[in-house]
């Protein structure tokens, strides 16, 4: 292994010293610039939806099927939730997103729709983190969690049917 590291180091030094002279150009990979949505755009309630958004919401609802799998003390750290099999609303959505997409997309339309449903259900309450704080309210019950998931699911279905 040390021998391999020495050769790698030697090659790197060679390319840095003589690369241009021997016709080897070392350039950083080119990336297509992507437009980052603004906060205003992310908070629009009419964003385009896909079947994946619906699948994420259905999977999250499945993950929170009953009280025995709901973690009502969310800390937005999902490793412990996965280990115990008890997920908060946020961690169920994160797991569902990863299961459907292969990666977590924090501002995915499916998750935004749940955030909007939380806002609608808690008019007047100011949350630092909507999903976590709604999950952790002393007055929130699992039926309330299921209701915001259902509202978000219905909204996504309606937009899919309107395409």
Residue 26 counted as domain residue: no
Concatenate the DSSP letters of all residues of 65-77 into one string.
Answer: -SGGGB-SS--S-
pLDDT digits (tens, 9 = 90+) for 38-95: 577 767 778 889 999 999 999 999 999 999 999 999 999 999 999 999 999 999 999 9
Domain extent at residue 96: 41-161
Q: Tell me the pTM.
A: 0.74
Residue 16 counted as domain residue: no
Residue 28 counted as domain residue: no
Residue 68 counted as domain residue: yes
> How far apart (Å, rounded) are the C-alpha atoms in residues 3 and 137?
58
Tokens (6 digits) for 78: 């999902």
Tokens (6 digits) for 97: 């997103």
Residue 134 counted as domain residue: yes
Number of domains in the chain: 1
Strand blocks (E) in 7-99: none
Residue 144 counted as domain residue: yes
């Amino acid at each position: 292994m040390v021998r391999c590291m020495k050769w790698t180091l030697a090659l790197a030094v060679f390319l840095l010293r003589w690369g241009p002279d021997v016709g080897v150009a070392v350039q950083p990979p080119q990336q297509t610039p992507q437009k980052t949505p603004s906060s205003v755009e992310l908070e629009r309630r009419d964003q385009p939806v896909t079947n994946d958004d619906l699948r994420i919401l259905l999977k999250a609802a499945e993950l929170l099927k009953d009280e025995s799998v709901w973690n009502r003390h969310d800390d937005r750290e999902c490793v412990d939730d996965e280990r115990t099999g008890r997920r908060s609303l946020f961690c169920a959505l994160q797991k569902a997103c990863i299961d459907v997409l292969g990666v977590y997309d924090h501002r995915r339309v499916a998750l935004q729709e749940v955030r909007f449903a939380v806002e609608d259900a808690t008019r007047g309450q100011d949350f630092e983190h909507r999903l976590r704080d709604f999950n952790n309210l002393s007055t929130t019950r699992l039926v309330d969690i299921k209701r915001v998931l259902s509202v978000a699911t219905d909204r996504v279905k309606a937009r899919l049917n309107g395409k």
